Chains A and B, each alone.
Chain A
Amino acid sequence: MDFLDAFLNPEIIARYLPALIRAVWVTLWISVLVVISGLALGALLAGLRAYQKRWLSWPIVLFADLMRALPPLVLMLVLFFGLPSVGIILADWFVLYLILTLVLAAFVEEIFWATMTSLPRGQWEAGAATGLSFLQVLLHVIFPQALRMNIPPLVNRSLTISKMTAYGSVIGVKEIVSVAGSAQAFSGSATPLTMAALAYLIIFYPAMLLSRYIENRFHYEH
């Protein structure tokens, strides 16, 4: 009884449920935006890198290395607390969105690049030999193959980065951890934190099942 009272107190659940549901929405839409723009930006960067122009590749590699090396939380803090001192004020949710997108893009770029360079050179040549332009080979021959081969790591990265929306609690984004944390502080009960954990499960467990479906659906023999 004590256990249930501490972690799943019905009264506290009822009191904080509306706020938590709002927080779930915040977590959800920031995650969806981050995943969409991070995948798109990462794929675009890998595509640009394929042109093998030094002035294009060099900044992309630097960007990818930096974004993968630095902890996202540090970047968020620098942006959120640093920029106002030079007169730039960004909304908390935008800082969270921007940094997570850039970090995801960096990983996605590296994932795509690794596969694109590991495809047989004959795939590029077969496309070129049939009169396709470089961009057409990239879009119709190389990318679709790289995408299919990369679905597992891309899905993993997307799930990982979505869970990092929890960092938003540090800069005041009203996502799940932030809202559950304040509720815990006000109520003195661990129940809101349990609710937060359940909320994450409700969001990410179906996402995990969906990813498994996608992996099977697009699997093909080489």
Chain B
Amino acid sequence: MTAAQPLPTLEITALEKRFGETQVLRSIDLKVQNGELVFVIGPSGSGKSTMLRCCNRLEEPTSGAIHVSGKPMLGIPRKELDRMRLQVGMVFQGFFLYPHLTALKNVTLAQRKALKRPRAEAEARALEMLDKVGLKHKADAMPSELSGGQQQRVAIARALALDPKVMLFDEPTSALDPELVGSVLKVMRDLREGGMTMIVVSHEMQFAREAADRVVFMDGGVIVEEGPPEEIFGNPKSDRLKAFLSRVSGEAA
């Protein structure tokens, strides 16, 4: 996969983030190639979510660079940033559907206002995306009428409808009841089969094992180790990763 690499879909270079005196991220470098699923694991407070949120600048990096398909995310005017954000879909732990809009309208809003798609086209696309996440029949439901898993799938459809180049998942299943996790993971697996480029911050280790191309282990604001899942889980090198994995498997048992 490394020979004639085209431009990475997402490239993080020397990313630093400080909150006041606290250094949350230090010299993060990460390249995500087209169609790749990169899984980010690490203890809480390790900077995983902050790194993800820097990618679409919900968090403002202190220094470094982020490029999406070669185009810079940093140092651009807000108007340009709004356009770049269309290419970076984000799914939040807390779903954050708009509670005053139906599922369909949740998925059409940004298509209409940010992409300026005509209503008919936006609605057709929204139904297509809702179908993809198995919720076409819930198009007219309000978010309050949906389960957590359904809300998260609508949120995924909302991001997908904008045809992003890369999808960021920030602990997408952490707020879900255990029996609802599977439905969201299934959608993510389908996306991966469809060739979507994805970065997933999550504690679903089983999913990482099965679906990830590459696993990144973060601790203390740095990338400690990265590699294919069988390497990371089967043959961890650093003590910190070993300690983390034994803690996590301890919890699971």
> Is A129 part of the binding interface, using a Cβ–Cβ cutoff of 8 Å?
yes
B96 contacts A132, CB within 8 Å?
no
CB-based contact B100/A129 at 8 Å: no
| Residue B79 CB within 8 A of the other chain | yes
Asked if residues B79 and A133 are in contact (CB atoms below 8 Å), the reply is yes
Which residues of chain A come closer than 8 Å to B97, judged between CB atoms? 126
B214 proximal to A (CB < 8 A): no
Alpha-carbon distance A127/B56, docked complex (angstroms): 12
- Contact call A140/B113, Cβ cutoff below 8 A: yes
CB within 8 Å of B: which A113-168 residues: 120, 122-123, 125-134, 136, 140-141, 144-145, 148
Chain B's closest residue to A147 (CB) is B100
B100 engages A131 (CB within 8 Å): no
Verify if A222 is at the interface (C-beta below 8 Å from B).
yes
Q: CA–CA, A221 to B88, complex, Å?
A: 30
Residues of A in contact (CB 8 Å), total: 22
Residues of B within 8 A of A133 (CB): 78-79, 82, 114
Minimal Cβ-Cβ distance residue in B for A134: B78
Q: A222 is contacted by which of B78, B144, B159, B162 (Cβ under 8 Å)?
A: B144
In the complex the two chains form, is A131's CB within 8 Å of B144's CB?
no
Task: Number of B interface residues at 8 Å Cβ cutoff, please give it.
Answer: 29
Q: Say whether B114 contacts A128, CB under 8 Å.
A: no
Please pick, from A122, A123, A131, A220, the residue contacting B82 in the complex, using a CB distance under 8 A.
A131
User: Is B133 located at the chain interface by the 8 A CB criterion?
Assistant: no
A132 touches B99 (CB 8 A): no
Do A126 and B85 touch (CB < 8 A)? no
Are A125 and B96 touching (Cβ within 8 A)? yes
Q: A123-B98, A145-B100, A222-B144 are in contact. Are A130 and B86 (CB under 8 A)?
A: yes
CA distance A130 to B99 in the complex (A): 16
Within 8 A of A (CB), among B130-174: 142, 144, 155, 158-159, 162
Given contacts A128-B58, A129-B56, A220-B144, contact A123 B96 (CB under 8 A): yes
Complex Cα distance A120/B92, Å? 12
**Chain B residue nearest in CB terms to A222:** B99
Contact of B100 among A122, A132, A144 (CB under 8 A): A144
Which residues from A are CB-within-8-Å of B142?
Answer: 220-221
Which A-chain residue is minimally distant from B97 (CB atoms)?
Answer: A126
Q: Are B98 and A132 in contact (CB under 8 A)?
A: no
In the complex, residue of chain A having the shortest beta-carbon distance to the beta carbon of B113: A136
The residue in chain B whose Cβ has the minimal distance to the Cβ of A145 is: B100
B11-43 near A? 1/0 per residue, CB < 8 Å = 000000000000000000000000000000000
8 A-B pairs with the lowest CB-CB distances in the bound complex, closest first: A130-B110, A122-B96, A131-B114, A221-B144, A126-B96, A131-B86, A129-B90, A131-B85
Which residues of A come within 8 Å of B, CB atoms? 120, 122-123, 125-134, 136, 140-141, 144-145, 148, 220-222
Interfacial residues, chain B to chain A (CB-CB below 8 A): 56, 58, 78-79, 82-83, 85-86, 88-90, 92, 94, 96-100, 109-110, 113-115, 142, 144, 155, 158-159, 162
Pairs A–B under 8 Å by Cβ, sample size 18: A120-B94, A122-B96, A125-B92, A125-B96, A129-B85, A130-B86, A130-B89, A130-B162, A131-B85, A133-B114, A141-B109, A144-B100, A145-B99, A145-B100, A148-B100, A220-B100, A221-B142, A221-B144
